[in-house]
Amino acid sequence: MATDTDRANPGGESGFGRVSRIRGRLFESLTLGASVFGIAALGVLLAYVFWDAFGLDAAEPVWYAVFAGLTVLPAVGFVWYARRAPAVGETSLELVSTLLAGVLGGFGAVAVLEVIAGDEVWFAYCCTVVAPLVGLYVYGRLDQTATWVGLGYLTTLVAGPVVGTLLLGPLRTVAALLGAPLVYLVTLVVPTAVAVRYVVGDRLALGNGNYAAAGLLAVAVLGVPVVDRVGVSRSVWLLFLVALAPTGVVVWKNAADGRWAGLLGPVGVVGGLAATVAVTDLVGIAGPEPWFDWQYVTTAPSQTAAEAGLYPAIIGSVFVIVLVAIITLVVAIGAAVYLEEYAPTGGVAGGFARLIRINISNLAGVPSVVYGLLGLGVFANLANLGVGTVITAAFTLSLLILPIVIISAREAIQSVPDSLRQASYGMGATRWQTVRRVVLPQALPGTLTGTILALGRAIGETAPLIMIGVATTAFSPPSGLFSRTSAMPMQVFVWSSYPSEAFQHGVVAAGVVTLLIVLLTMNSIAILVRNKFERETH
Amino acid sequence: MSERDSVDLSGDRGAQDVRESIYHAAFFACAAVSVLTTLGIVAALIAPTIQFLGEVSVSSFLLGTEFTPKIKPVSFGVLPLVFGTLLITAGAAAVALPVGLLTAIYLSEYASGRQRAVLKPMLEVLAGVPTVVYGYFALVYVTPLLDAIPGVELGTFNALSASLVMGIMIIPMVSSISEDSMSAVPDSLRNGAYGLGATKYDVATSVVVPASISGVAASYILALSRAIGETMIVVVAAGQNARFPGSVPDLLTSFFESTQTMTAAIVQLGLSDLAGGTTGYRALFAIGLTLFVMTLLLNLISDFVAQRYQEEY
């Protein structure tokens, strides 16, 4: 900057030049200060809340030294190293995000399948909806000329749930005979093993896919005695195994490429934490007394701060967000495809499409509490879906984030080059075939990134949930679409009005940290999807 | 027939046409959801509001200076809530507008590519933190911090910390849109000014900012609209005390006391009157409609400003 000022003032050290140079420097520092102000303020507040949530007050000074030496120092060293070797940083980002996604997915699977639906109901709908869909997908990949596959999807999506509901009784009996772990083994672990076989053997060509699949199944079965001893249920073990299978593939892929260094960082941090705990336990140094711990995420809320937990709220939030993800993805992609690929530019239909576009950008600016009023008036009361039920919450939050997701899906579709479309039409493809085979595969990563970021917004929304009467405190997780639920931000909101110090600086802080960890995970998954997409297009 | 079959290369057109129109209709239905949402919002807000205005006169709603839905005699004057909303919005604007503008200037004029690549995602994080978390920050950390300053006497709930924290939250709204419009200012304008002997400071303040003033103004209005509609920060940190200042000193001390905004009133009524059938329940929608109209107007003005006063290069 100084050089610019010098150039602009050839007079050099004249009084005028000096004054204007000082003024320029001051202004630059002022703008820099402003840029950092908000970030620094948020950083300080986050430091406070993490300090409270992990109860770092209670730790002895020696503990900090051990923690710094065994965890922080290696982590900082690794980050410093990764900055100079971008490939290493990329590998660790990939590993960390897939691992976090796996853990989050595991919790999601346990919440939706085990806690809410139950293995029997899952088995029924798996047989009538999920299995036919997967079968159709695989058949469509194998036989590219089968034009009826698309209609098959629609038919299955419409008829499958009906058939599943009709046959619920007999299928539940079958599932009860199999038992929950066997149901998950058949419906999830075996398909995952087949997928792993395909990915490892054919897609990435890492090695023999049969061995990989057999290895996964062997781990699933051989792990059973271990988890029995530890006290984890077999179903939970299998669900987490399925959710973490992609992480295993990522580790294998990077190891096969000789990128061991990138794996070192995440492993080092986890190992360092374990070492810190082990060393301090052994020597008898008082560590922190975290509010945010296993007990906190697995028990129900309580009036006693020490016993309070977030479990029902976490399950409720996960359930609602899974539904919101499905609804918004389908509707937003449909709307974006219509606006970008189908909508005419002239005539009545063109005018309507323009109206929709203007309308979407205005909807994005409507306060969230107004969406809550919409949910209360239309879904809860008019459509009679019930006050504070899972389905009301899911519809309301879906409408809330729909404009954002539609905008990002439209941008993703716009970025697909027109030459691809024209080539497709030139080959005699119809509009739908072009959309399905050319536009959507190209636009999907961008849409997914936007969707995940918007879901992050949905998971933290509180005001609309208050308006539709979501339970302020629930002691058991929701059992179905029409049961009343709680949600993480709701619980944080309610607890924040408790005057007691233990709640204000302990329980709520832990709730905030839970919420932020979930958000951070979702954002890092979004970044991963975007990076992967950018690498593939360049 | 056989001759025509041999010409038609795409096979079974009849079934295909049916399929194409099914998908066309399905996509159209998805797009129509957004219009239905708008209609739903308007209908859901207007129907109870009309009923409400049958019970409480329009003038006592719009001009009433008392909002006491729980204390007899009940009164539903919206003015105290509008005042609370404007007070908190003003506080947030005092933080976000200058800081956001300076941030945009730094990002577009001073920052290197690498600094931008680090700063921009971090600024976006400010807008991504759930608002209930910001409310908690304001209540538990910011209020005691401000209270410790000598000469500042804050209540547990107060407008000051809520509006400060809200200001931090809307910084990225101002900075990202302003920066977009500053980056759109062509370099030829900057070079022209340098050629006339202007300094970097002169270029930033006298060329770039005036040239991008429409975008800056649009971002300001949008940020205000966001602040008006913000709910959880004020519900958690600003309290539930609807007040309308009677005098100028009262106005000045308002920041240090508990205040209720329109959004906070909606939440308060929502927590107590959700069962329906009461005047309070319908007041909920009347206040919601007022809020909706205010934010919609601001958004439309922002769009209009951005387009009407945009400089063409």
- Give every CB contact of residue A12 below 8 A, 6+ residues apart in sequence: A6
Which CA distances in Å does B204 have to A31, A34, A532, B190? 11, 15, 37, 8
B162 domain residue, yes or no: yes
Which of B23, B42, B52, B81 best probes binding to A when mutated, by most A CB atoms within 10 angstroms? B23
A310 contacts A511 by C-beta, under 8 angstroms: yes
Nearest to A430 among B16, B103, B291 (CB): B16
Query: Which of A39, A377, A516 is opposite residue B44, by nearest beta carbon?
Result: A377
State yes or no: cis peptide before B73, omega within 30 of 0.
yes
- pLDDT band at residue B312 under the 50/70/90 scheme: low
Instruction: State the pLDDT confidence band at A536, using cuts at 50, 70 and 90.
Output: low
Q: Do B35 and A339 touch (CB under 8 A)?
A: no
| Nearest Cβ partner for B299 among A33, A332, A362 | A362
Confidence at residue A6, expressed as pLDDT on a 0 to 100 scale: 47
pLDDT digits (tens, 9 = 90+) for A373-423: 999 989 988 888 888 899 999 999 999 999 999 999 999 999 999 999 999
Same domain membership, residue A268 and residue A208? yes
3-state SS class at B270: helix
Question: Over 90: is that where the pLDDT of A67 sits?
Answer: no
Q: How many CB atoms lie within 10 A of CB B122?
A: 15
Q: Which residue of B has its CA nearest to A488?
A: B132
- Asked if A326 contacts B1 with a C-beta cutoff of 8 angstroms, the reply is no
Provide the pLDDT for residue B33.
Answer: 92
Confidence of residue A535 (pLDDT cuts 50, 70, 90): low
Q: Residue A534's pLDDT is what?
A: 67
Is A312 found in the same domain as A269? Answer: no
Same domain, A22 and A108: no
Q: Give the pLDDT confidence score for residue B7 in this predicted structure.
A: 46
Looking at the structure, tell me whether residues A22 and A169 fall in a common domain. no
Please report the pLDDT score of residue A393 as a whole number.
Answer: 94
* pLDDT above 60 for A10: no
Q: Is A39 on the interface with B (CB under 8 A)?
A: yes
* Separation between Cα atoms, residue A462 and residue B140, nearest integer Å: 18
Cα–Cα distance measured from residue A373 to residue A396, given in angstroms and rounded to the nearest whole number: 9
Could you tell me if B117 lies within 8 Å of chain A, comparing CB atoms? no
User: Helices B279-308 and B262-272 meet at what angle, rounded to 10?
Assistant: 150
B313 within a domain of the structure (yes/no): no
Residues of B in contact with A463 (CB under 8 A): 131, 231-232, 235, 263, 267
- Interval B167-176: pLDDT, tens: 999 999 999 9
Q: What integer is the mean pLDDT of A245-274?
A: 82
A373/B266 Cβ within 8 A: yes
Examine residue A42 and state whether it is found in any structural domain, yes or no.
Answer: yes
User: At a CB cut-off of 8 Å and minimum separation 6, what does A487 contact?
Assistant: A313, A316, A317, A320, A393, A462, A465, A470
Query: Tens of pLDDT along A474-491?
Result: 888 888 788 888 899 999
CB distance A356–B31 less than 8 Å?
yes
A370 close contact with B: CB closer than 8 A: yes
Where on the phi/psi map is residue B112: left (φ > 0), alpha (ψ -120 to 50), or beta?
beta
Instruction: List, as ranges, residues 161-180 from B with C-beta within 8 Å of A.
Output: 168, 171-172, 175
Residue A62 lies in a domain: no
* Residue A270: pLDDT band with limits 50, 70, 90: confident
| Phi/psi-derived region of residue B276, left when phi > 0, alpha when psi is between -120 and 50, beta in every other case | left
Q: Which of B132, B267, B295 sits opposite A460 (nearest CB)?
A: B132
Rounded Cα–Cα distance for residues A202 and A492 (Å): 47
What token pair was written down for A390?
């899972």
- Residues B257 and B160 grouped into a single domain: yes
Residues A291, A420 within the same domain:
no
User: Do B35 and B16 sit in the same domain of this protein?
Assistant: yes
Tokens of A529: 């999807």
Question: Same domain, yes or no, for A309 and A293?
Answer: no
What's the whole-number mean pLDDT along residues B151-161? 85
Measured CA to CA, the distance from residue B104 to residue B106 in angstroms comes to 5
DSSP state of A498: -
> Which residue is closest to B105 within chain A, CA to CA?
A31
**Cα atoms in the 13 Å half-sphere on the side-chain side of A117:** 22
pLDDT at A8 over 50: no
Domain count, chain B: 2
Report the mean per-residue pLDDT for chain A.
85
CA A504, A508, A514: angle at the middle one, nearest 5?
155
Three-class secondary structure of residue B150 per DSSP: coil
Both B11 and B82 in one domain: the answer is no
* Same domain flag for A284 and A324: no
Same domain (yes/no): A318, A358: yes
- The answer to whether A23 faces chain B, any CB pair under 8 Å, is yes
Contacts of A355 in chain B (CB under 8 A): 35
Size of the A and B interface in Cβ pairs below 8 Å: 284
Residue ranges making up the domain that contains B19: 2-55
Split into its structural domains, chain A has a count of 3
Note whether B43 and B107 are same-domain residues. no
Q: Does B103 touch chain A (CB under 8 A)?
A: yes
CATH number of the domain encompassing residue B68? 1.10.3720.10
Residues 6+ apart with CB under 8 A from A36: none
Question: A72, exposed or middle or buried, with CB in 10 Å at 0-12, 13-18, 19+?
Answer: middle
Asked if pLDDT for residue A201 goes beyond 50, the answer is yes
| Strand, helix or coil for residue B239 | coil
Question: Residue B197 — left, alpha, or beta (φ > 0 → left; ψ -120 to 50 → alpha)?
Answer: left
Per the structure, the complete domain to which residue A27 belongs is given by: 2-53
Reported pTM: 0.86
Residues B212/B178, Cβ–Cβ less than 8 Å? yes
Cα gap A159→A59, rounded to integer Å: 59
- Name the token pair of A245: 């299978």
In a domain, B131, yes or no: yes
Q: Which of A298, A319, A338 is the last residue of a domain?
A: A298
A80 CB-near residues (< 8 Å, 6+ apart): none
Which are the contacts of B168, defined by CB distance < 8 A and separation ≥ 6?
Answer: A37, A38, A41, A42, B95, B96, B126, B134
Among B100, B88, B94, B178, smallest CA distance to B134 is for B88
ipTM of the complex: 0.89
Candidates B98, B123, B292; nearest CB to A39: B123
Residues A482 and A426 in one domain: yes
Q: Cα Rg for chain A, rounded, in angstroms? A: 27
Q: Is B249 exposed, middle or buried (0-12, 13-18, 19+ CB in 10 A)?
A: exposed
| A448 and A337 within one domain | yes
Would you call A463 and B205 a contact, using CB atoms and an 8 Å cutoff? no
pLDDT digits over A350-373, tens only? 888 888 988 998 898 899 999 999
Short-list A439, A252, A421, A455, CA closest to B130: A455
pLDDT tens, position by position, A202-215:
777 777 788 888 88
Cα–Cα distance measured from residue A36 to residue B126, given in angstroms and rounded to the nearest whole number: 11
User: B65 and B213 share a domain?
Assistant: yes
Coil/strand/helix, residue A226? helix
pLDDT of amino acid B13: 65
Q: Are residues A279 and A401 in the same domain?
A: no
Instruction: Determine, yes or no, domain membership for A237.
Output: yes
A64 in any annotated domain: no
The residues near A170 (Cβ < 8 Å, ≥ 6 apart) are none
- Residues in CB range of A16: below 8 A, 6 or more apart: A9
Nearest chain B residue (CA) to A334:
B27
